[in-house]
Amino acid sequence: MSEGTINFENVNFSYYSNPDKEVLKNISVKFSGGKMTALVGQSGSGKSTLLNMIPRIYHPSNGKINIDNQDLSEINLYSLRKQISIVDQNTTLFDDTVFNNIKYAKPDATKEEVLEAAKLSMSTDFINNLENGFETKIGENGVKLSGGEKQRLSIARAFLKQSKIILLDEATSSLDSDTEEKIQKAIEELIHNKTTIVIAHRLSTILNSDRIYVMEKGKVLDYGKHDELLIKSNAYKNFYEKQIQK
């Protein structure tokens, strides 16, 4: 994978359980290599479904997805997922040590690499405050950690993995402002020069994006940069004003 440019061409998607209801309708979008693209829209507009098609969690009912002009369906699943990191609220954590939970992203990583990933993700402080530091067992699905701590471990994994493509479901709404600020700083470092696709909940992310796609009911209504969309898209303008009011 050279650039990590992703193209959706006339992609439709329906769940097997309800084939008559299209969740995505004729989606044609481009995510440029090394750039950040944001998806905005109301809940249920199809953003997460679109994101989940890139690691092939879902497959198009019809249409085509390419990465660097190679058909996604023809890429070996293991090598594809090796190039993708997902950061969201639903980090899968194991009843094991903090160290092993980070190392899970790259099983052959050295101790130095794991410690560096923890540092870059702003995790070192909270880890050192745990009863046994990096050797602390965190319980089933990280039950002993807060939401922000889990998310920082998810970012640490992404730093360790050093993948070309970063998928962010940037759900930080439940975090306090201090934790949110730390996570934002870690994410900014993580996504530098990476192909980043973000479901945007924060104004700063939307403003910093190279391109924004506005989604509604499984369709792309409009796309462009923030300033253009404020002028030409009512749906975007409404979304943006609601964010300001928050």
- For 229, the token pair is 């969309």
pLDDT at residue number 37 = 96
Number of H helices and number of E strands within the chain?
A: 10, 10
How many C-beta atoms surround the C-beta of residue 108 within 10 A? 6
Supply the Cα-derived Rg of the chain in whole angstroms: 18
Asked if residues 131 and 99 have their Cβ atoms less than 8 Å apart, the reply is: no
Nearest to 123 by CA among 141, 99, 140: 99
Distance CA 140, CA 188 (A): 29
- Domains annotated for the chain, with CATH where assigned, are 1-83+199-246 (3.40.50.300)
Tell me the residue type at 52: N
Distance CA 90, CA 64 (A): 28
Strands (E), the chain: 6-13, 24-31, 36-40, 62-67, 70-71, 84-87, 165-169, 195-199, 211-216, 219-224
pLDDT in tens, the chain (246 residues): 578 999 999 999 999 888 888 999 999 999 999 999 999 998 889 999 999 999 999 999 999 999 999 999 999 999 999 999 998 877 889 999 999 999 999 999 999 999 999 999 999 999 999 999 999 999 998 999 988 899 899 999 999 999 999 999 866 655 677 877 888 888 888 999 999 999 987 777 888 899 999 999 999 999 999 999 999 999 999 888 887 766
pLDDT at residue number 2 = 73
pLDDT at residue number 172 = 62
DSSP 108-148: T--HHHHHHHHHHTT-HHHHHTSTTGGG-B--GGGTTS-HH
How far CA 115 is from CA of 93, 127, 157, in Å, comes to 18, 11, 11
Distance CA 193, CA 35 (A): 6
